[in-house]
Amino acid sequence: MFPAHAFLSRIRGCPRTSPVNPSRLVKSFLPFRHILVCIFLQVFAISSVSFGEEPDSTSSTQSSRVSEILDSLVTATYFQDDRFSSGGKSGAFEYLPKEFIPQFSDSVYASRIAALASKSEFDLVYNEHVRGYIRVYAVDKRKFVSKVLGLSHIYFPLFDEAFKKYGIPPEMKNLAIVESALNPTAVSRAGARGLWQFMSGTGKMYGLQSSSFIEDRYDPNKATVAACEHLSDLHDMFGDWFLALAAYNAGAGTVQRAIRKAGGARDYWEIWPYLPQETRGYVPAFIAVTYVMNYYREHNIRPAQPGYLYSETARVPVNQALTFEQLNEALGVPMADIKFLNPQYKAGLIPSPESRPNMLRLPKQYVQQFLRKEPEIYAYKPELVEEKARLYTMVREVERKDEVVSSGRGRKSHVVGRGETISRVARKYGVSVSQIIDWNNLKSSRLKPGQKLVVFKADGERGSRKSSFSKLKDKKSKLKAKAAKGSGKSKAAKKSKGGKKGGKKDKTKKKRK
C-alpha cells in the first residue's frame, strides 16, 4: 500500500504550475482540483483504516478499559456534540477531508517517538504494544480523541501549574487521558473516580474526602494536587517514572513483587512479564497518548472546542451556603456550566465553610458580578438553600462522629524530615492527610523540614476512619464475645494487629488489584 505520508508529501510538494499538459489541464479546471484530490483521498482513506495491529492479548484488558473510558464521554451529559464547537482546521493537513485516516510506517512512528523521548524524562520507546494503542486512539476512537483534545485546553494548564510546583515531568498530564479521558466525573467499574481515578482509600490518604454532598475526587484542583503527591511518593520509592506509573495503576506492592521476580531489575520492560495483565498495557497506552497528543494533526484529528477554556474561568471563595439554583437564577449562569465547572458539589449545594471558604469556579464574565452581588445572591430565595443546608448539617454531624476520636490514642510530636511529605507522615502514624491538616490548622499540605506536627497515633489499627455502621458492628461483636467467654479483649487485640499489617499492605496499593 502506498504510504499516506509519502502521498501527502508529494501533493504538498507539487508546484502550482507545470509545463506538463495534464497539470495545465488540472489548472484550467482549478475549482475542481480540490474536489478531485478529496475524492481520491476518500477512496484511499477506506483502505487506510487497516492501520497497524490490535493491542496484543496481554494488554487487551487495558485496551478494553481505554475504549470504555473514551466511550463514557458519550453518556456524560456535558460532553454531547452540541456542547462542542467545530475545531475548524487541524493545521498540517487542513485541506484533507475529515474522513481521511492517515497511516504511517513503523519507522515513522519510531522516529517521532524518539524525537519526543529526546526532550523527555520518560524513556519513551516504540514497539508492537505501543503501536496497538496508537491504533485505538488515532483510528478506532479518534472521534472521542477530538473531544479530549478540546478538554485538554481546560485541564492541561491546571496540570502544568501543579506539575511545575511538584517537579513532575509535563508529559505526566497525559496520564489523566489514560485514566479518565479528562472526564472529571468518570467512574470505573472498580469504583475509582475523577480525572485521576482515585479509589476512596487512596484518596483519603491524600486528603480527598467523600460525603453525600462533596466528592473531592471530582474536584479538578484538589484531585490534581493529590495526584502530584501520590506520583511524587511513588517516584521517590522506585526512582523511575515508568515504575511510578505502573505502581499508580497496580499498587506499589505489586510492582515491588514484580521487581523481585525479575531478579531485582528496576526497568519497566524487564519487569513487564511479571506485572498484572492490565498493567502491562498501561505504560504502552501512556506512550501512545503522548504520541497522539503531539502528532494529532498528522493523523488528521481535529480538536473539538468545549464551551470554556481554562483561561476563561476563575475561582471565587464562597463564604456561606449557596445552591446552584441560586447562582443560576440570580446571576444567569447556565446550570450545565455550573455543574461542569464544579463537579465536586454532588447535590448542587456549596456548604457553609467549616474553616476555609469553599471554592467555586465560574466563567470569568460572571466573576465581577458575583463579587459585587455576593450578599444579594446568598439572600436570594433562601428556601432554595435552607432544606439542603439542613440536610447537610445532619449528615455532617453523623460524619463527625465517624472521625477517629482522640481517646485511646497517643499524642505524638513529629518533626518533619528533609524531603518528607505529609502523606508519608500520615502513613507512618496510620491516619489521614486531612486529619493532620485539621490537628495542626495547616493552610496547605506542603511541609517544611524541621516543622513540628501534632499527631494522634492510632492504637492497634491503621487508617482508622470507620463508618458508624462498622463501629456499631464492632461494639456488638465485642459485647457478644465478652458475654460468651470473657475473652473479647485478647481476640480484639489479635484482630487489631492483623488489621494493622493488612492495612499497610492495602494502602500501598492504589486501585485495581
The Cβ-side half-sphere exposure at 31, using a 13 Å CA radius, reads 0
Beta-strand relationship, 322-323 and 349-350: antiparallel
Rg of the chain over all Cα atoms, to the nearest angstrom: 27
% residues pLDDT > 90 (the chain): 46
Cell numbers standing for residue 189: 467499574
- How many structural domains comprise the chain? 4
End residue of a domain, out of 376, 402, 428: 402
- The answer to whether residue 89 sits within a structural domain is yes
For 234-279, what is each residue's pLDDT tens digit? 999 999 999 999 999 999 989 999 999 999 999 999 999 999 988 9
- The answer to whether residue 300 sits within a structural domain is no
For 304-344, what is each residue's pLDDT tens digit? 888 888 899 999 999 999 999 999 999 999 999 999 999 99
Domain identity same for 281 and 428 = no
Q: What is the CATH number of the domain that holds 82?
A: 1.10.530.10
Domain identity same for 287 and 380 = no
For 92-126, what is each residue's pLDDT tens digit? 455 567 778 998 999 999 999 999 999 999 999 99
Q: Which helix (H) or strand (E) holds 247?
A: helix 241-250
Domain identity same for 94 and 199 = yes
Mean pLDDT of 406-427: 77
Domain identity same for 36 and 73 = no
- The answer to whether residue 462 sits within a structural domain is yes
End residue of a domain, out of 238, 269, 295: 295
Tell me the average pLDDT of the chain: 77
What is the model's pTM?
Answer: 0.68
Tell me which residue of 436, 185, 211 sits closest to 198, measured CA to CA.
185
Domain identity same for 199 and 232 = yes
End residue of a domain, out of 378, 402, 426: 402
Domain identity same for 198 and 345 = no
- The answer to whether residue 34 sits within a structural domain is yes
CA distance 73 to 401: 38
Domain identity same for 95 and 149 = yes
% residues pLDDT > 70 (the chain): 68
- The answer to whether residue 212 sits within a structural domain is yes
- The answer to whether residue 491 sits within a structural domain is no
Domain identity same for 349 and 438 = no
Range(s) of the domain holding residue 33 = 4-48
Residue 87 or 294, more confident: 294
- The answer to whether residue 478 sits within a structural domain is no
- The answer to whether residue 479 sits within a structural domain is no
